C-alpha cells in the first residue's frame, strides 16, 4: 500500500491530463472528477496482489470475474513462453499457481453463472508441464485449456465498459507484480516480473475478444486503449532480462487509470 501511495502522484498526473483535455467545467458535479475519485478509491482498495481483496464477490462482480480469468490466462501464457524457450523450472512455477491459488476462488462464480469451469483441462496442462512432457503435447493441452477458458469467459457477451474495467484491473495487478519484481531498475524477482508481462499481454489480447458491434461502435476508444497498452512494451525487454529495467511503475498504474476512464465514458 505504501508503494501505491508513492506512485499515486504519477497516476494523478495522468488523470489530470485527461481532465485537462475536456471542456467540462471543473465543478463538484463534474462527472470526470467523480470518475477520478472513483479510480482513486479503486487504487486504495483492500485488494493486494492478484485481486485478493476479501470484499469482492466474483459471483456478481463481472469485471472482477473477467479480470481473475485474465490472471489465469496470464500465468499460463508466460508459463508457455518459458517452457517453449527451455526454461522448464520457471515454467513449472507459473503453471502450478493458477490451479493451487486462483481456480478455487472461481468455482462459486462458475456455479452462479451455470458455467462448467475448466478444472480437468487445467490439471492436464499442469501435469504435463510438471512431468516435462514433449513440447508438442504441452501445446495441445494448452490450446485445449484456452478453449475451455473461453467457454467460461464469454467476453463478447459482456458490455464494453465491463470488459475495459477488467482490462484496467489486470493492468493494475501487472503494476503490483512489477513493483515486486523490479526495484530501482534491477530485477529482484523474476517470477513476479514475468507475471506482470503475462497479465499485460493478456489484457491487450482481450480487446480482440470483444464482439464485432463493440469493435465498430467504439473503434476510436479501443484504438486508444490498444495504443496505451502497447506503449508499456519497453518495461519487458525479454522474459528473462539482463541489465537495467524501467522501474517507473506509475506509468503502468496511469495506463490502467486511463483505460478505466475510457470504459466509464463509453
Q: What is the pLDDT of residues 148-163, one digit of tens each?
A: 999 999 999 999 999 9
In 21-118, which residue ranges form alpha helices assigned H by DSSP?
31-43, 62-84, 88-97, 103-112
Partnered with residue 182 across adjacent β-strands are 187
| CA 93 – CA 111 distance, rounded (Å) | 28
| CA 173 – CA 195 distance, rounded (Å) | 9
| CA 116 – CA 138 distance, rounded (Å) | 22
Average pLDDT over residues 168-178: 98
Q: Give percent above pLDDT 70 in the chain.
A: 80
CA separation, residue 163 to residues 12, 25, 66, 198 (Å): 23, 29, 7, 18
10 pLDDT tier (thresholds 50, 70, 90): very low
Q: What is the pLDDT of residue 96?
A: 84
Q: Cβ atoms within 10 A of the Cβ of 223, count?
A: 12
Q: Is the pLDDT of residue 21 over 50?
A: no
Write the pLDDT tens digit of every residue in 246-266: 779 999 999 999 999 999 999
| CA 121 – CA 127 distance, rounded (Å) | 10
Among residues 224, 233, 264, the alpha carbon closest in space to that of 251 is found at 233
Domain boundaries, the chain: 2-264
Amino acid at each position: 500500500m505504501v508503494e501505491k501511495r508513492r506512485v499515486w502522484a504519477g497516476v494523478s498526473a495522468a488523470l489530470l491530463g485527461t481532465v485537462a483535455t475536456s471542456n467540462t467545467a471543473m465543478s463538484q458535479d463534474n462527472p470526470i472528477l467523480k470518475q477520478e475519485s472513483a479510480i482513486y478509491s479503486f487504487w486504495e482498495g483492500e485488494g493486494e496482489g492478484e485481486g485478493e481483496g476479501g470484499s469482492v464477490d466474483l459471483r456478481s462482480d463481472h469485471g472482477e470475474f473477467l479480470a481473475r480469468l485474465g490472471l489465469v490466462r496470464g500465468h499460463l501464457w508466460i508459463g508457455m513462453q518459458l517452457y517453449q524457450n527451455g526454461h522448464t523450472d520457471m515454467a513449472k512455477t507459473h503453471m502450478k499457481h493458477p490451479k493451487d491459488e486462483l481456480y478455487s476462488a472461481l468455482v462459486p462464480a462458475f456455479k452462479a453463472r451455470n458455467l462448467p469451469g475448466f478444472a480437468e483441462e487445467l490439471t492436464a496442462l499442469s501435469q504435463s508441464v510438471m512431468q516435462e512432457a514433449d513440447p508438442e503435447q504441452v501445446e495441445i493441452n494448452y490450446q485445449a485449456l484456452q478453449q475451455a477458458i473461453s467457454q467460461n469467459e464469454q467476453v463478447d457477451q459482456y458490455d464494453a465498459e465491463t470488459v475495459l474495467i477488467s482490462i484496467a484491473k489486470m493492468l493494475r495487478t501487472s503494476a503490483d507484480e512489477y513493483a515486486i519484481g523490479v526495484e530501482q531498475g534491477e530485477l529482484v524477482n523474476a517470477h513476479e516480473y514475468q507475471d506482470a508481462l503475462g497479465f499485460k499481454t493478456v489484457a491487450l489480447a482481450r480487446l480482440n475478444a470483444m464482439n464485432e458491434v463493440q469493435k465498430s461502435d467504439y473503434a476510436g476508444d479501443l484504438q486508444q486503449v490498444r495504443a496505451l497498452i502497447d506503449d508499456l512494451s519497453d518495461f519487458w525487454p525479454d522474459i528473462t532480462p539482463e541489465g537495467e529495467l524501467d522501474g517507473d511503475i506509475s506509468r503502468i498504474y496511469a495506463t490502467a487509470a486511463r483505460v478505466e476512464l475510457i470504459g466509464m465514458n463509453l
